Amino acid sequence: MRVADLIIVVSLAFLWYCIVPLLGIFLDRNNWQWFRQRFDDLRAAPFLNYTSLYHGTEPTYRFTGVFESITDTKILWIRGESITVPVNLIGAQIYVFSLSTVQGDVRRIHWNKVPTLIEGGRVYVGGSLGMHNGRLVFTHTKNEPLIIIFYGGDDRSLNERVIWAGRNNNQYFNRVTPYALAAGTFSFLCIAFSFLNRPAFRLTALIAIIAIFTPLFPLLPPGILLTNLYTKLWQQTRLLRSYRDTIQVALRRENQYLPNGEYYGSVRMNTMPAGVPPLVQAVGKSTEWTVFGAIHDNTLLPFEPSDCAALYGFIPGNPQKLIRFYTVTAVLLATAALFLLVAGIGLNIFCIVLLIARIF
């Protein structure tokens, strides 16, 4: 076996099983960041009602209701409390949370998968209105991308779920990973069959066959123990980033009027507020609490806004310091998690090399 052959096999494995999925990770991360950012931008848009449907002048609107029907012309009908609104699905970014529970992740679907969803589920839509076949409909445009979210539970729960679940869970398996695995498998099969009938290169063929199963290395003993630790650390990293994003969303709307006219702000307190839910987990012992919500001149404590997209609750500690803490800790945990994953793969590769050395 030539060293050059081994370098080729290792390089192909690194390309198809590492580099290409890594590119997919960045693509997926950017897509989920865009989703959260677009939802956050739409918090400033007013809710569509009967008056604004025909006389509104705002560039964007929000609307929530019940999934009523979908037509052959790709028009989705959403039934609200007082009006039923059509939505043009062409070009829209469509996401689905669990329709039966407020738990679980979100996934993106194509418009032709919408008819398979259960009628009667809740629907959120945000974007601009345009003319379609003589009627005003929610329409996707380049400047105002249209997002549609199907979900279960109440409208206020969607607000938190977008922040917490609107991010990729298992980043290695993304939309480009299946193509990378198929290309890698094909490449190694070609190498194996090319050298299998040549006795001097059978070790090369064997290594090529083993390389096909490289994506399974993290799931094999003894490295799977480190893979499990990687999974737990990565989940904790995801949680900390959700805490960070929650605080940032609250601060971004602070000291502003909501679309419904309520003033959104915060109050600093030296004691924990009673009857107010926490927005994030406390870090150590808190000496100050910041309560976010709607504020009136005659109220001492913020109350829950009527706009379901506005966060309501307290943050235990200084918000800016917590953002820095969550950011730094998430980076450290993510680095440790990736180190454990690579170490587990390396451990399994070492064991396989020892096994091959004993055989040959």
Distance CA 8, CA 14 (A): 10
pLDDT at 133: 83
Question: What does the pLDDT average to over 143-171?
Answer: 86
CA angle at residue 161 from 284 to 66, to 5 degrees?
Answer: 155
Distance CA 138, CA 116 (A): 21
pLDDT digits (tens, 9 = 90+) for 14-37: 899 989 988 988 888 899 999 999
Query: Into which CATH architecture does domain 45-165 fall?
Result: Beta Barrel (2.40)
The structure's pTM equals 0.87
Of all residues in the chain, what percent are helix, strand and coil, respectively (each to 5)? 50, 20, 30
Q: pLDDT higher for 106 or 237?
A: 237
pLDDT at 54: 84
Distance CA 75, CA 56 (A): 21
- Cα separation values, 167 from 37, 39, 95, 149, 161, Å: 12, 13, 12, 14, 10
DSSP code for 134: T
pLDDT at 123: 95
Helix (H, G, I), strand (E, B) or coil at 73: coil
Distance CA 24, CA 173 (A): 8
Tokens 């380049």 belong to which residue? 142
- Whether the CB-CB separation of 67 and 279 falls below 8 Å is answered with no
Of 4-13, 180-189, 231-240, 244-253, minimum mean pLDDT range: 4-13
* Main-chain dihedrals φ then ψ at residue 264, nearest 5 degrees: -105, 125
Please report the sign of the dihedral spanned by the C-alpha atoms of residue 314, residue 163, residue 309, residue 67: negative
Domain ranges of the chain: 1-44+176-212, 45-165
pLDDT at 1: 53
> In whole numbers, what is the pLDDT of the chain averaged over residues?
89
Both structure tokens of 48: 């569509």
Question: What does the pLDDT average to over 340-354?
Answer: 88
One-letter identity of residue 176: V
Question: What does the pLDDT average to over 87-110?
Answer: 82
Using alpha carbons, select from 165, 126, 170 the residue that is nearest to residue 246.
165
pLDDT at 195: 83
Residue 103 binned pLDDT confidence (cut-offs 50, 70, 90):
low
Helix (H, G, I), strand (E, B) or coil at 124: strand
Strand order in the sheet with 256-257: 256-257, 263-269, 289-295, 313-316
CB burial string 34-69: b at 16+ within 10 A, e below = ebeebbbebbbbbbbeeebeeeeeeebbbbbbebbe
Beta bridge partners of 303: 294
Distance CA 146, CA 45 (A): 13
Distance CA 92, CA 148 (A): 7
Of 12-16, 63-67, 132-136, minimum mean pLDDT range: 132-136
